[in-house]
């Protein structure tokens, strides 16, 4: 019983000595790694080199992440100069918003990629730790067996050592004894270095993840500021008394341009329809079914269909659709089965989608922050086609929803209900 306890104490001392002398015996570390190749589960010089390369790559990546942030002040300054031309101003601004949004999407992608990498590193780290423990255990057993099987005099000598200095005098002997364990010991050191490299890599990756998240937050804040600024600028432009007549003229010209674009698209749809019927192909048919409400959620009707006093211009104007106030990013649904006629950008409509439902019936969805369909896509009622935004001539996040029948706007309330 007494002997067993002593052996355990000795084992602890010998292991401590081994770990300590590792530094003394191989100060460079890297040069010795070439010999550290052992069993298949042991990290090789190549795997350690690879890990080191990965770490320097990550460091470079971290530096490059700092670039690519938008300079909001610069954007604002450039925009100030164009503000006297509202149409170009809105177009320019929407272009910037699009760019920032693309950057945010890119950063979010980077974050999920980084998260996956961290998960993998975590698994590697666990494996390396386990390997380290196993090797330490194997070595301890080997040393214990060596002591228990032979040279009891030396054991006694070690146990009788009065001080650590005394004990160090026996290092020479211990090193000789351990020489046979050299290969195992090298493996243990390699595993430990590998664990440390894994750790370092993971910590760097975490740092990058945090930085990326911070960047996304900055970009999102920039985006919100830009949208806010645009809302304020449009309102101040349209409500400015000195500017009033000009603002009304501009608005009417934009609505006219919008109308021209829609008519042009309808002419294309009508021509295609004629050709399909001429070729005995079946053209789209609207079966008279009720529309699906085109939004995942909304807060209120902010501007209804029909003649009304324009909210900022202050004059009576026809509003060709219903405005639903809704949070940016809210899913916009196809109100009915159909074919996408347009998914594009227009100065007044912003990012918009037009869907042909057949028999001269179509729906238009305006001011989207993102478009998820392309011209020619066939969509089913309820498909997500875009996300709510405030692009184009818009002073707040909303969906403008229009219905056209045989070349004219009709009330959307004839097709859908709240």
126, 182, 276 from 34: Cα distances, Å:
24, 14, 73
Cβ(413)–Cβ(322) under 8 Å? yes
Cβ(386)–Cβ(405) under 8 Å? no
User: Other CB atoms closer than 10 Å to residue 314's CB: what's the count?
Assistant: 14
Rounded to the nearest whole angstrom, what is the least distance from the CB of residue 299 to Zn ion in the complex?
15
Helix (H, G, I), strand (E, B) or coil at 318: strand
Chain residues 96-125 in contact with Zn ion, contact rule CB under 5 A: none
Helix (H, G, I), strand (E, B) or coil at 232: helix
Extended strands (E) in 271-413 = 300-303, 306-309, 316-319, 322-325, 331-333, 338-346, 350-358, 361-368, 370-371, 378-379, 384-387, 398-405, 408-410
Rounded to the nearest whole angstrom, what is the least distance from the CB of residue 242 to Zn ion in the complex?
26
Rounded to the nearest whole angstrom, what is the least distance from the CB of residue 393 to Zn ion in the complex?
9
State the Cα–Cα distance between residues 45 and 194, nearest whole angstrom: 10
State the Cα–Cα distance between residues 117 and 122, nearest whole angstrom: 9
Give me the helix-helix angle, 45-66 and 182-239, nearest 10°: 20
Rounded to the nearest whole angstrom, what is the least distance from the CB of residue 321 to Zn ion in the complex?
5
State the Cα–Cα distance between residues 173 and 195, nearest whole angstrom: 30
Gyration radius of the chain over CA positions:
36
Nearer to Zn ion, 6 or 231 (CB): 231
- Please report, in angstroms and rounded to a whole number, the separation of the first and last CA atoms in the chain: 85
- Tokens linked to 202: 């993971």
Q: Which residue number is nearest to Zn ion in terms of Cβ?
A: 400
Rounded to the nearest whole angstrom, what is the least distance from the CB of residue 232 to Zn ion in the complex?
19
Please identify which residue in 132, 193, 323, 383 interacts with Zn ion, judged by CB under 5 A: 323
Rounded to the nearest whole angstrom, what is the least distance from the CB of residue 302 to Zn ion in the complex?
8
The interface region with Zn ion, picked from 48-56, 64-72, 330-338, 399-407 by CB under 5 A, is 399-407
- Tokens linked to 269: 């749809």
Nearer to Zn ion, 192 or 400 (CB): 400
Q: What phi and psi values does residue 351 have, to the nearest 5 degrees?
A: -75, 120
The interface region with Zn ion, picked from 218-226, 338-346, 376-384, 396-404 by CB under 5 A, is 396-404
Please identify which residue in 51, 103, 400, 404 interacts with Zn ion, judged by CB under 5 A: 400
Nearer to Zn ion, 219 or 323 (CB): 323
Rounded to the nearest whole angstrom, what is the least distance from the CB of residue 313 to Zn ion in the complex?
13
String of b and e for 209-248 (b: at least 16 CB within 10 Å)?
Answer: beebeebbeebeebbeebbeebeebbeebbeeeeeeeebb
Q: Is residue 357 part of the contact set for Zn ion (CB under 5 A)?
A: no
Rounded to the nearest whole angstrom, what is the least distance from the CB of residue 323 to Zn ion in the complex?
4
The interface region with Zn ion, picked from 13-21, 168-176, 323-331, 373-381 by CB under 5 A, is 323-331
Nearer to Zn ion, 33 or 394 (CB): 394
Rounded to the nearest whole angstrom, what is the least distance from the CB of residue 293 to Zn ion in the complex?
17
Binding residues for Zn ion, per CB under 5 A?
323, 400
């Amino acid at each position: 019983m007494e002997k067993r306890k002593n052996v355990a104490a000795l084992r602890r001392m010998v292991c401590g000595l081994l770990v300590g002398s590792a530094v003394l015996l191989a100060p460079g570390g890297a040069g010795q790694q070439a010999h550290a190749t052992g069993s298949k589960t042991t990290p090789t010089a190549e795997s350690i080199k690879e890990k080191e390369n990965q770490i320097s790559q990550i460091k470079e990546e971290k530096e490059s992440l700092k670039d690519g942030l938008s300079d909001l002040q610069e954007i604002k300054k450039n925009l100030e100069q164009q503000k006297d031309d509202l149409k170009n101003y809105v177009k320019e601004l929407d272009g910037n918003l699009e760019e920032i949004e693309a950057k945010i999407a890119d950063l979010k992608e980077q974050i999920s990629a980084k998260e996956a990498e961290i998960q993998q590193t975590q698994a590697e780290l666990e494996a390396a730790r386990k390997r380290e423990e196993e090797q330490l255990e194997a070595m301890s057993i080997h040393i214990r067996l060596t002591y228990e099987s032979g040279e009891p005099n030396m054991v006694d000598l070690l146990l009788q050592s009065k001080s650590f200095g005394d004990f160090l005098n026996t290092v020479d002997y211990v090193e000789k004894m351990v020489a046979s364990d050299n290969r195992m010991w090298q493996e243990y050191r390699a595993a430990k270095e590998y664990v440390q490299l894994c750790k370092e890599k993971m910590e760097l990756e975490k740092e990058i993840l945090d930085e990326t998240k911070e960047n996304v937050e900055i970009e999102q804040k920039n985006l919100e500021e830009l949208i806010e600024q645009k809302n304020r600028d449009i309102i101040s432009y349209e409500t400015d008394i000195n500017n009033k007549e000009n603002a009304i003229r501009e608005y009417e010209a934009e609505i006219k341009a919008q109308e021209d674009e829609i008519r042009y698209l309808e002419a294309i749809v009508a021509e295609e329809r004629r050709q399909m019927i001429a070729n005995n192909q079946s053209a789209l048919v609207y079966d008279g079914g009720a529309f699906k409400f085109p939004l995942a959620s909304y807060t209120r009707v902010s501007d209804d269909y029909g003649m009304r006093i324009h909210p900022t211009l202050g004059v009576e104007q026809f509003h060709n659709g219903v405005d639903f106030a809704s949070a940016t990013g809210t899913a916009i649904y196809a109100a009915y089965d159909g074919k996408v006629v347009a998914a594009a950008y227009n100065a007044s409509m912003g990012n918009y989608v037009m869907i042909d439902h057949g028999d001269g019936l179509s729906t238009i969805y305006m001011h989207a922050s993102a478009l998820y369909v392309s011209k020619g896509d066939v969509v089913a009622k309820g498909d997500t086609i875009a996300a709510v935004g405030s692009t184009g001539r818009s002073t707040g996040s909303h969906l403008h929803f229009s219905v056209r029948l045989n070349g004219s706007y009709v009330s959307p309330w004839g097709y859908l209900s709240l």
